Amino acid sequence: MYQIKATSNSQALVIFLLDVSGTMGKPFGGGTRIQVVQNALKMTITQMVQYSLKNKEIRPRYKVAMIAYSDDVFDILSGIQTIDVVAKKGIPKLEPLNRTDTTKGLKYVKKILDQEKRNITKANPAPLVIHMTDGDYTSTEDPEPVVREIQNIIVDDGPVLMANLFVSDELKVSSAATAWPGYFRNDDLHNPYANRLLSFSSQLPDLYLENIGELGYSIQKGTVMMYPGVSPEFVQMAFIMGTASNGGGTEETKWEGE
């Protein structure tokens, strides 16, 4: 599983699911939590664009959806868009709102995936969902059943991948982002909600591990896609997972033979 690389002929679908509850307005990293997340998201989109360039033209190497949630759900890009369209539209400013209805956000993501599955062929990488949150959910429904339904959506390359970023100063990390080894499935993060997110997270595929290693990170084999958002650098590392199915290089270097 998870062997297909993203190219302009085999686009990777990446869905960013973003908690924009009120606590995202708390101070963090020289700004607020939501400002740090927005900056990391912009940097990630920029990197996706760089990977997609061929003859100074942005090729559709990635397809992207951005879903924000609080009490309600907000489809930031109005559906799934190719990376060239995202680059033209830009990312609107995110604002912290009210509560944290994680289940509602996940249900919206599942709806997108159910609709898009028929367009995902054996040439496409498995979709990736990157979920960012900063606290326990206030949903009346437990999010876990919806997470499992998402992870049970299977395409030729494998089941949908779920990555989680927990933006919190409650987690303790002793190393810099580039030296951090990652979390294993049975680790205790000493935070009940962080442990739940850990249990929701997919195992990091070898292709992703190889590509993020080329970017200077030290995540180990066998870890899962759960990231401690304890600093802007860790937030950026989590979002960079959105580019990790690229297989290395840009469209300029990958184009021949595709």
Rounded CA separation 25/108 (Å)? 24
Both tokens assigned to 253: 């270097």
Q: In which domain, by residue range, is 203 found?
A: 12-254
Q: What are phi and psi of 32, to 5 degrees?
A: -120, 165
CATH code where residue 83 lies: 3.40.50.410
Rounded CA separation 109/60 (Å)? 21
**Structure confidence by residue, pLDDT tens digits, 200-241:** 999 999 999 999 999 999 999 999 999 999 999 999 999 999
| Domain presence at residue 4 | no
| Domain presence at residue 5 | no
**Structure confidence by residue, pLDDT tens digits, 60-95:** 899 999 999 999 999 999 999 999 999 988 888 899
| Domain presence at residue 209 | yes
**Structure confidence by residue, pLDDT tens digits, 117-143:** 999 999 999 999 999 999 888 888 999
| Domain presence at residue 197 | yes
| Domain presence at residue 3 | no
| Domain presence at residue 157 | yes
| Domain presence at residue 7 | no
Both tokens assigned to 63: 């397809």
| Domain presence at residue 6 | no
Q: How many domains does the chain have?
A: 1
pTM equals 0.93
* Cα four-point dihedral sign 88, 133, 15, 114: negative
